Amino acid sequence: MPGMTDAAEADAATSEAQSPRRSGSPIAGLFGGLIVLGVSLALVGAAICHFLQPDDWAAVTAIPLWCWVLACVILSMLGTPFASRRVRAVNDLVIVVVLVMGVEQTYSLSRWAWRSAVGSPQVAATERLCVVTVNCSGGSRQAAAEAAAHDPDVVLLQESPAEEQLQSLAVELFGEQSSVAWARDCSIIARGELSEVERQSHHTQALLTLPNGRQVVLFCLRLSPPIVRYDLWNKSCWIEHTDQRLVHCQEAGAIAAALAAVPTDRPIMVGGDCNVPSGDGALESWRPEVRDAFAIAGVGWGCTVLNRIPVHRFDQLWSGQSVEPVSIFAAKSQFSDHRLVVGEFRLSALPAAGP
């Protein structure tokens, strides 16, 4: 009927007028698309920098990749309501690819969820080596003592407590089997005998002979403090980050030289306060000898700085090929501004000391 047709058309027109549109105008759609594409390109650029680690772009890699992803998601929301479906799809694809291929927490959190459901791998007591690294925040004995909760065999300490305090702590942890390699900054306490101790400006090296006769070469380190500024629009920010990267490369290079001098039949364990983000190019020189244990067996969030709001994974454990990482995680501290890093390793491939 004509009357009913006219009424239906009027209702349809009213409904269309009241229904929200994704883009208020072609101009809004254009700007929305440009915002989303620009943010996506910025994320791709940040991911490339994190992969290649160029020194001149250290200011970009000083910001963790997960922060770049988070910023991309938040900023994309400004343009997503107006952008086309294809642009939104491209943005979503970029975020997923970077998360899967570049963000280590994607795997460590997945590993945490899986182990929470099915349980963690078990290591025989005769093969287990537990290593804890802790920044003692200006020599706090209380911070150092927090390692005891994890039943360690080795404790690597930066900003170390005084030698007398460390001696007493070692006895509390390991009794008559305790051994100490003290230095003003980087110290080691362990269950077993520490020998061949070498103290350098940014690391302490020692040979540990465990009670079962197996040996491990230990490195405790603390590189120079990082640059804490992220005003990327300022040229001086870029210069400072690049200069500090070169300083860290030099310091890490000295450790790399010491690693290369270790006999090939001796397993290696490196740990401490690297003062650089995970995956930083300054540590690339270590890779022929050791690998980042968290990247292999990390569980949970993993970041250690700052203790209350962990953003960076400055505190790290690295192990040689004959030391298998089983579980690496960060534990909250009550007395330090860094979280502890606790690592469980399997030593089944380790040789025993000679007669």
In the chain, what percentage of residues exceed pLDDT 70? 91
d(CA 330, CA 343): 9
The pair of three-digit structure tokens given for residue 326, joined into one six-digit string: 């089983």
Please give the average per-residue pLDDT across 73-81, as a whole number.
Answer: 87
Tens digit of each residue's pLDDT (9 = 90 or more) over 116-129: 999 999 999 889 99
Tens digit of each residue's pLDDT (9 = 90 or more) over 180-204: 999 999 999 999 999 999 999 999 9
Is residue 108 within 8 Å of residue 293, measured between CB atoms? no
| Nearest Cα to Cα of residue 170 among 36, 105, 333, 160 | 160
Q: How confident is the model at residue 321 (pLDDT cuts 50, 70, 90)?
A: confident
Q: What is the pLDDT of residue 17?
A: 45
Is residue 226 within 8 Å of residue 276, measured between CB atoms? yes
Phi-psi region of 333 (alpha: psi -120 to 50; beta: other; left: phi over 0): beta
d(CA 314, CA 330): 11
Q: What is the pLDDT of residue 84?
A: 86
Tens digit of each residue's pLDDT (9 = 90 or more) over 264-306: 989 999 999 999 999 999 999 999 899 999 999 999 999 999 9
Backbone angles phi and psi of 326, in degrees to 5: -110, -45
Q: CA torsion sign, 36 to 41 to 44 to 50? A: negative
d(CA 244, CA 242): 5
Q: What is the pLDDT of residue 23?
A: 44
- Is pLDDT of 46 > 80? yes
Q: Amino acid identity, residue 197?
A: V
**Domain spanning 108-346, CATH architecture:** 4-Layer Sandwich (3.60)
Over its C-alpha atoms, the chain yields an Rg (Å, rounded) of 26
Which residue is it, tokens 């000898």?
289
> Comparing 2-16, 132-146, 250-264, which segment has the lowest mean pLDDT?
2-16
Q: What is the pLDDT of residue 82?
A: 81
3-state secondary structure of 290: strand
Q: What is the pLDDT of residue 83?
A: 83
Tens digit of each residue's pLDDT (9 = 90 or more) over 97-108: 999 999 999 999
Tens digit of each residue's pLDDT (9 = 90 or more) over 332-342: 999 999 999 99
Tens digit of each residue's pLDDT (9 = 90 or more) over 1-19: 454 555 555 555 555 444 4
Q: What is the pTM of this model?
A: 0.89
Average model confidence (pLDDT) across the chain? 91
Q: What is the pLDDT of residue 239?
A: 98
- Is pLDDT of 179 > 70? yes
- Is pLDDT of 247 > 90? yes
Q: What is the pLDDT of residue 353?
A: 53
Is residue 220 within 8 Å of residue 203, measured between CB atoms? yes
**Range(s) for CATH 3.60.10.10 in the chain?**
108-346
Q: What is the pLDDT of residue 230?
A: 96
Q: What is the pLDDT of residue 9?
A: 55
